[in-house]
Amino acid sequence: MPGSMTGYGHADEGGYLVEIKGLNHRYKDIRVKLPRDMNQIEIQVRSAVSDAIQRGKVDVIITRNIAEAEKQGLKINWDYAKAVYTDLKTMAGHFGGETSFRDVMLIPGVVGEEDKLLDEQWALIGPPLGRALKGFLDTRLEEGEKLGKDMAERIQVLEGIRLSIEASSAGMPKIFAERLSANINSLMQGKTQVDEVRLAQEIAIMAERCDITEEVVRLKSHFEIFAQTLKSANAAGRRLEFILQEINREFNTIGSKSQDTSISIFVIDAKTEIEKIREQLQNIE
């Protein structure tokens, strides 16, 4: 079954909260937000998510658990803090005002977390990221299963419409012959008798132009391919979109060829179902 592009997963472990949110997008768009001192593992995080999806907009947000950070205490760059404090006091002496430790703490680089090597950071983030990613993918599959079931049911509706069109089209040549003959007889009243051979030729030409047998047969094939693709393990939204385009094209051709009102109504009903399937496909990966 196909997977949806919409999903959510999260994990809170080792002092870090990992959240992964997915939305619809034509291409693969991954955005990663990390604590400032962990930017060096962004490539690893992005790669892990990219390997798990085909397309969609995905936001990965990793934040540090405040309670855990408090346990670890602050890392103060005392030499830098003293230099900053001296400079701030000098400025206060020139321009007026007082300097406190709060002013010093606001200067970037005075207070920070303990620097960790890339491998150490990845060891902290990797496990919760993996669990959040699994939850994210599970919700996508669950949503995709619902969408796939809905689309499969609509394809069955389209197959019913196709059968109705096929049944209605069986009598079209006779209808054309009667209609054309009546029109010609009306025009030829009091004039030379109609050439029956020429009339038969004209009927044959019109019947050929309005013949929708090929379109009806191709529709059945398109429906089968669509249903098979839905059931496949690697169902792709783009492939399904291409198949749906072909289905829509066949119904358009049937509508333009048909001279029968009932068939035109069937085509309208079919295009309504196609539009509903197209809306669902916007969510398929």
What's the pLDDT tens digit per position in 49-64? 999 998 899 999 999 8
Please give the mean pLDDT across all residues of the chain: 84
Rg (CA), the chain: 34
Cα distances from 227 to residues 102, 144, 147, 224, 245, in angstroms, run: 65, 14, 13, 5, 15
Longest Cα–Cα distance in the chain? 120
Task: Say if residue 218's pLDDT is above 70.
Answer: yes
Q: What is the DSSP letter of 170?
A: T
Task: Say if residue 116's pLDDT is above 90.
Answer: no
* Distance separating alpha carbons of residues 162 and 215, to the nearest angstrom: 10
Q: Is-contact 178 49, C-beta < 8 A?
A: no
- Model pTM score: 0.69
Domain boundaries along the sequence of the chain: 7-69+117-141, 74-112, 144-281
* Distance separating alpha carbons of residues 179 and 263, to the nearest angstrom: 17
Sheet of strand 56-64, all strands in order from the earlier edge strand to the far edge? 7-13, 16-23, 56-64, 28-33
Q: By three-state DSSP, how is residue 100 classified?
A: coil
Does CATH number 3.30.230 belong to domain 7-69+117-141?
Answer: yes
| 198-210 tens-digit pLDDT | 666 666 666 666 6
| 138-195 tens-digit pLDDT | 999 999 999 999 999 999 999 999 999 988 877 666 666 666 666 666 656 655 565 6
Averaged pLDDT, 78-96: 85
Of residues 134, 119, 117, the one with CA closest to residue 49: 134
